[in-house]
Structure formats: C-alpha cells, structure tokens
Amino acid sequence: MTRKAVVFGAGGIGAALVHALAASGAYDAIHAGQRDPCADWPAAVVPFAFDLAQEDTIARAAQAIGGPVDLVIVASGVLSDPARDIAPEKSFQAIDAGAMAHVLAINTIGPALIAKHMLPLLPRDRPSVFAALSARVGSLGDNRLGGWHSYRASKVALNMLLANFAIEMARSHPQAVIVGLHPGTVATRLSEPFRGSVRAGQLFAPERAAEQLLGVIERLGPQDSGGVFAWDGQRLAW
C-alpha cells in the first residue's frame, strides 16, 4: 500500500513538516506545495506550485497528485503584510475592507478551496487526516483581549468550515479526520513582529512545532473530527 502526504504552504512550519514527514519514513511520497517550488528537498519529496488565490492552480495540483492521499496539511496563512499595509487591528476603527478581504482570502477561502479539491482524494477504506493550521485567537471561548479582528474572524470562520467538512465527510469517509491545529507561537516570519509578549519557553522552533503537530495528528481518531487542537493535544473551545 502506497502512502502519500501533501503539505500546502511548504515554508516556515510547512517546510519543517515536510522534512519531518520525509524523515519519518512513513510515507512513500510527500508533496510540498509553494507559490515558487523549491528543488532542495529530500528524495521522497515532490514539489509543486500553487497559489491560494487561484483555484485553478489548486485543482491542477490535486489532479497531478491523485489519490488516495493519507494526510493533507494546509500550512499557509497571513497575519500581517507590510507590502499591502496589513497589520492586526488594535481597534475596530482600524478595520479596512481590502485588508480584511485579503486576510479572509488567504486564511479561510484558500484552505476551503484546498479542501474542495483534496477531500475527495482521501481513502474511504482506511484512516486519513485533513488538517489546517488555525490559531487559539480564533477561539470564541478564549477571546479576552479583543482586537486582531480580521485574523480572528478568518480563523473562527476556518474552524466552522472544518467542522462542516467533518460532518459531511463522515457520511462517506467514516475513518477520515478533519481538524484545525494550533501550533503555538513559532519562530517564523509570520510571528516575528509579535513575539515581545511571548513567555519564556513558549516560542517554538519550526522543527519542534512540526514534531509536536505530527504527534497530535498521530493521536487523533474519527471521534476528534471537526475539532481544533493545540500543539499540546488540548482541544480548544471555539
């Protein structure tokens, strides 16, 4: 039986996930997707190009990868983008329609389109996982500070979509697990401007974050489908 894993967004945490999956030896092929594919991967890694804002590139990637696929991880996302003048809002007065639309396009609509084309490739006769990186700030129950309106909204919307997908997939793929994953604060470009308040020991290297997330994935079962889980295995209330 050939086992196949796919990572959409193979930079930062995604790159660490690709390397960890390759090192595990558990998969015959690991497909690593980026806007501009990198060729410097281990032998088992197959690079491919995709653009979250272009559904046709996602569709072509899914067709080229083919099924069955045992593991899909969506590791893409945006929190700030100086080039687009996008930053987490400290007040509702800072909300900008264009910036919010871009954050939702990358953090919510993009993963939904990946699900549209990749969920049909999950096997019906054995366990499989579709996971997307979410965030604790997307938890309604954990929101005590407010702010970060676009990012929070994009992640809570993503969580709802994952719950929807889990319900739908359970009818045809009873062993499939559809989840969100909160990696914690990871030392990547996404978190770099916002690390000042991170407590000692709570800033993870990408390699450690990848190890922790894959450990969580290994412990998941169909009963967990539709949930959002933190790096330590805690199920988040959202």
Confidence of residue 135 (pLDDT cuts 50, 70, 90): confident
- Whether residue 199 has pLDDT greater than 80: no
pLDDT value of residue 47: 95
- Whether residue 146 has pLDDT greater than 80: no
200 vs 8, more confident: 8
In the chain, domain spans: 4-230
Which range in 28-37, 130-139, 195-204 is most confidently predicted, on average pLDDT? 28-37
pLDDT value of residue 179: 98
Q: How far apart are CA 168 and CA 83, in angstroms?
A: 38
**104-109: long-range contacts, CB 8 A cutoff, minimum separation 24:** 104/150, 104/153, 104/154, 104/157, 105/52, 105/53, 106/52, 106/53, 106/76, 106/77, 106/78, 106/154, 107/77, 107/78, 107/151, 107/154, 107/155, 107/158, 108/154, 108/155, 108/157, 108/158, 108/161, 109/52
Class of the CATH domain delimited by 4-230: alpha beta
pLDDT digits (tens, 9 = 90+) for 51-107: 999 999 999 999 999 999 999 999 999 887 888 888 888 899 989 999 999 999 999
